[in-house]
A and B are shown apart, each in its own frame.
Chain A
Amino acid sequence: MAITSIKNLKEFSTNNDRFEGAHLLCPGCAHSMIVRELMNCTDDNLVIATNTGCLEVSTAVYPYTSWDTSWIHIGFENAATAAAGAEAMYKARKRKGTLKDPNAPVKFVAFGGDGSTYDIGFQWLSGAVERGHDFTYVCLDNENYANTGGQRSSATPIGSTTSTAQAGSHSYGKKEKKKDMVAIMAAHGAPYVAQLAPNKWKIMAKGFQKALETEGPCFINTVSACTTEWKFDPKDTIHITDLATDSLMFPIYEIIDGKELNILYRPKNIITVEEYLNAQGRYRHLFKPENRHVIEKIQKDVDEKWELLQRREEARV
């Protein structure tokens, strides 16, 4: 069956989950909101590769699996490799006529954390995208190595305290800026690249559907608020994500064929980054007088990035 169209949330809710409960992710974890939504975006068969990280270790604790689809667990750096390999094998077997049901629609998906996507699986993701495999890679970006206790990754924003870039009397936390993974993937010339967030469920669903329908390698960075490492109450996952998108810390946009940039969400009231930072324990130290300059820097960076995105959208480059 083809991908179901999504008019409104009521209609979307008639989907039958293929991501099951009694997984062991923290209460309020956004990883599962994102994964559930992707799997509810299509009725097609899914082959999903997931490398290690919170999602993998929490959804495949022997003897249980939370996945109602074909699902491959693989090492930290290889979600993209596994999805690419499965896709290549599928194509070859289709050609050889050895598939049981060659006409069954199937989509290949990879899930990786930011640690695996931005850092450790970076070259393998780059390779799979360069080779042009027909798959969708979704990064669950919680801006740290959450599964091993919150180490910094290259997705961790400047000023955030992590277990390996701790704020204290001599440091304001991480010193380096977040890597612009969306731009890097767009620079590969991937046909569809986007940054999406679960609070904007409809935009996210449409983006996922676009990626699944597009032939070739697609990359989606999703904002995944992490109650444990960002240090906020589990009930506030959607609220924090609202602050993230409305402060433009996480602008929502897509880039088609590496050039055509479209902003998918324009907040009616843009809030300050301060409001976003202030809602999370990982940024608390920035509100000390000696660290205030970091907040100013973050605001400046965010303003510049928003300006750049708008200009690129306008210029269609």
Chain B
Amino acid sequence: MNGLDGTEKRGIKELGAEKLVGWDEVEQGVVINSFEGDATGVANVHAENRNYSDFNSYTATVASWRVIKPVYNRDYCIDCQNCWVWCPDSSIISRDKQMLGIDYDHCKGCQVCSEVCPTNPKSLLMFLEATENDEALAGWPEKKEKEK
């Protein structure tokens, strides 16, 4: 192509386009599909039943970010769902109004869930990543008296 001397024709045809297309006929650019196949109604499908594509970050993990991890103790949980609504990493698994546990592939160990858990003792507590969950549950603290 020549330099910009002002006389040169630089319309879409000169650039090699066969025919002009309308605004609603333009080919799609780069598209990354979150799902394989039809994703209609995905809002009503649980994660475990979805057809995630390899591009969906659900198929990835950030577990290596964690230094500490939350451990869930069902014995004290009242299913209030505070942990669910405030987890920034979609890592609290709740089904049918019940808290089921933590998605350790996506949890970053931020401790927000433990902070917002209202039970006494808390139903979510933080432990070093290397601690076994059974061990953590065995040493769960007793109910704390209210500070005066």
B-binding residues in A (CB < 8 A):
1, 9-25, 27-33, 36-37, 42-44, 59-60, 62-69, 89, 92-93, 96, 98, 101, 104, 198, 201, 233-239
Contacts and interface: CB of A to CB of B under 8 A. Distances in A.
Contacts of B61: 22
Given A28-B111, A63-B54, A64-B56, 8 more contacts: A16-B44, A20-B90, A22-B105, A22-B106, A28-B88, A32-B88, A89-B24, A234-B111
Residue picked from B32, B43, B60, B116, most chain A C-beta under 10 Å: B43
Residue picked from B57, B65, B111, most chain A C-beta under 10 Å: B57
Interface residues of B, number: 52
Nearest to A11: B97
Nearest to B65: A27
Given A12-B85, A21-B90, A235-B112, A43 B43 contact: yes
Residue picked from A9, A44, A93, A201, most chain B C-beta under 10 Å: A9
> Which 6 residue pairs are nearest across A and B when measured between Cβ atoms?
A21-B106, A235-B111, A27-B110, A28-B110, A27-B108, A13-B81
Contacts of B81: 9-10, 12-13
Given A67-B34, A68-B39, A238 B86 contact: yes
- Main SS at interface, chain A: loop
Contacts of B72: none
Residue picked from A13, A15, A25, A235, most chain B C-beta under 10 Å: A13
Contact of A64 (B39, B46, B55, B110): B55
Interface string B54-72: 1111111110010000000
A65 B24 contact: no
Interface string B92-106: 001111000001011
A59 to B, nearest CB: 7
A22 B62 contact: yes
B117 to A, nearest CB: 11
Contacts of B95: 14
Contacts of A9: 80-82, 84-85
